[in-house]
Structure formats: structure tokens, C-alpha cells
Amino acid sequence: MRKMVQILLPLFLILAVIGILSNISGFFSVIGITVTIGLLFYLGYRFYLSKRYRVPMFSKTKNGPSRAQMKKAQRTSTAKSAPKSKTQNFPKNKRQSELNQRGLKKVPKRRSAPHLKVIEGKGGKPTTKTNKKKA
């Protein structure tokens, strides 16, 4: 079997090359049609995905983190960013700045808990039973 494959495989390859060379225009037309059909399938698939998942058909740049990396970073992040509002750009009024300069109220120090003493009572019911009189 092995010897037969060693003889037939090169023979088929030689015949294929001769067939391609004899009809080179037909060979390139078949290759062109195959590539065109493959490209149409690929573009249709990308179009379908872009419509279904509402993402751009082709990503614009490959620089920076991907969407999956950004979502993972948001999930694992411990810092919470405050939502930015448009009023942050405006200067604060005088009253607000005066309140900020006064500082916050001081929190009273925690006092230690009073030392409580546990008073133990009886441990439980007595374990000895009264003896019955023998008759």
C-alpha cells in the first residue's frame, strides 16, 4: 500500500501541474471565483454580526484594550469613579467655600466598653436522684 501511494501521489501531482499549465486561464478564473464567493460569505457574516450585536462592521484600530478587557477591568476595579457633572467646571459660591474651610465636625472618640462581670448561677439541675425505698 505504501509503495503504491509513493508512486501514485507524484504521478497525480505531475498530471495536475500539466493540466493547470495547459488551461492556465481556466485555473485562474476558478481561483478568482472561489476567492470572490469566499469574500462575499465573509462580508455577509460580518454584516450579520454587526447588525445583531450592534458593533462596527470592522474595528477601526487595534490599539488599546479590547471591549472584553475593559469590562473585566471594570468588574475587578475597587475604585469607584464619581459621575462627572457639568457643574464641576463652575466656581463654587462663597458660602460653600466657607463651609469647606471650617472643616468637618470632629467625630467623638470611642470609649472602651465597661468591663462587665459575669455572675454565674447554678450550673444546672442536680444530677442525683432520690433513692426509692426498697420494700
pLDDT at site 117: 74
Place of cell 464567493: 37
DSSP for 13-55? HHHHHHHHHHTHHHHHHHHHHHHHHHHHHHHHHHHHHHHHHT-
Find the Cα–Cα–Cα–Cα dihedral 73, 79, 83, 89, rounded to 10°. -120
- 12, 19 in Cβ contact below 8 A? no
- Residue 32, SS3? helix
pTM equals: 0.38
Written as tens digits, the pLDDT of the chain (135 aa) is: 888 999 999 999 999 999 889 999 999 999 999 999 999 999 999 999 888 888 887 776 667 777 888 888 888 877 666 555 555 555 556 666 666 666 666 777 777 777 777 777 776 666 655 555 555
- Residue 61, SS3? coil
C-alpha–C-alpha distance, residues 5 and 11, integer Å = 10
